[in-house]
Chains A and B, each alone.
Chain A
Amino acid sequence: MTATPLLDVRDLAIEFKTEGGAVRAVDGVSFSVDRGKTIGIVGESGCGKSVTSLGIMGLIPTPPGRYAGGEVLFEGRDLLKMSAQERRGLRGGRMGMVFQEPMTSLNPVYTIGAQIIECLKAHGMRNAREARDRAVELLDLVRLPSPSSRVDDYPHQLSGGQRQRVMIALALANNPDLLIADEPTTALDVTIQAQILDLMRDLSDRTGAAIMLITHDLGVVAETCDDVVVMYAGKVVERAPAKDLFDGPMHPYTLGLMAAVPRLDTDADRLETIPGAVPPPWAMPAGCRFASRCPLATDQCRQSPPPLREIATNRLVACWRAPIEEIAA
Chain B
Amino acid sequence: MLNVIAQRLVLSVPVLFGVLLFGFLLMQIVPGDPALVVAGPSATPDVVAAIREEMGLDKPVLVQFWSYLERMAQGDLGRSMISNKAVTEELAAALGPTLELMIGSMLWSVPVGIAMGTLAAVLRGSLVDRAIMALSVAGVSLPIFFISLVLIQWLGVTYPMFTFIGRPGPWYTPEGFNGLFLPALSLGLILIGPVARMTRSSVLEVLKLDHVRTARAKGVSETRVILAHGLRNALIPVITLVGLQVGYLLGGAVVTETIFSWPGLGRLAVGAILSSDFTVAQGTIMLFALGFITVNLIVDILYSLLDPRVRK
Contacts and interface: CB of A to CB of B under 8 A. Distances in A.
Nearest to A167: B214
Contacts of B209: 104
B210 A92 contact: no
Interface in A140-157: 154, 156
A109 B306 contact: yes
Interface in B264-312: 306-309
Nearest to A90: B219
B24 to A, nearest CB: 44
A109 B307 contact: yes
Interface string A115-127: 1001100110000
B309 A154 contact: yes
Contact of A108 (B217, B219, B309): B309
Contact of B217 (A59, A89, A107, A154): A59
A293 B95 CA distance: 77
Interface stretch (A93-101, A191-199, A295-303): A93-101
Contacts of B220: 88, 92, 118-119, 122
A59 B211 contact: no
Contacts of B51: none
A57 B211 contact: no
Nearest to B309: A156
Contacts of A123: 219
Interface residues of A, number: 29
B9 to A, nearest CB: 26
Interface residues of B, number: 22
Nearest to B206: A107
Contacts of B228: 118
Contact of A106 (B211, B216, B219): B211
Contacts of A105: 210-211, 213-214
Nearest to B212: A107
A170 interface: yes
B221 interface: yes
A251 interface: no
A289 interface: no
Contact of B232 (A57, A109, A167): A109
A154 B215 CA distance: 16
B233 A107 contact: yes
A59 B213 CA distance: 7
A109 B216 CA distance: 17
A170 B215 contact: no
A99 B215 CA distance: 12
B213 A93 contact: no
Nearest to B217: A97
A139 to B, nearest CB: 16
Contact of A91 (B217, B232, B306): B217
B219 A93 contact: yes
Contact of A154 (B222, B232, B308): B308
A89 B219 contact: yes
15 contacts: A88-B221, A88-B222, A91-B218, A92-B220, A99-B210, A99-B214, A101-B210, A104-B209, A104-B210, A105-B210, A108-B309, A109-B233, A118-B220, A118-B228, A122-B220
Interface of A: 57, 59, 88-93, 96-97, 99, 101, 104-109, 115, 118-119, 122-123, 154, 156, 167, 170-171, 173
- The 9 A-B residue pairs with the shortest CB-CB distance in the complex, in nearest-first order: A92-B219, A92-B218, A119-B218, A91-B219, A104-B210, A107-B211, A154-B308, A97-B217, A105-B210
Interface of B: 209-211, 213-222, 224, 228-229, 232-233, 306-309
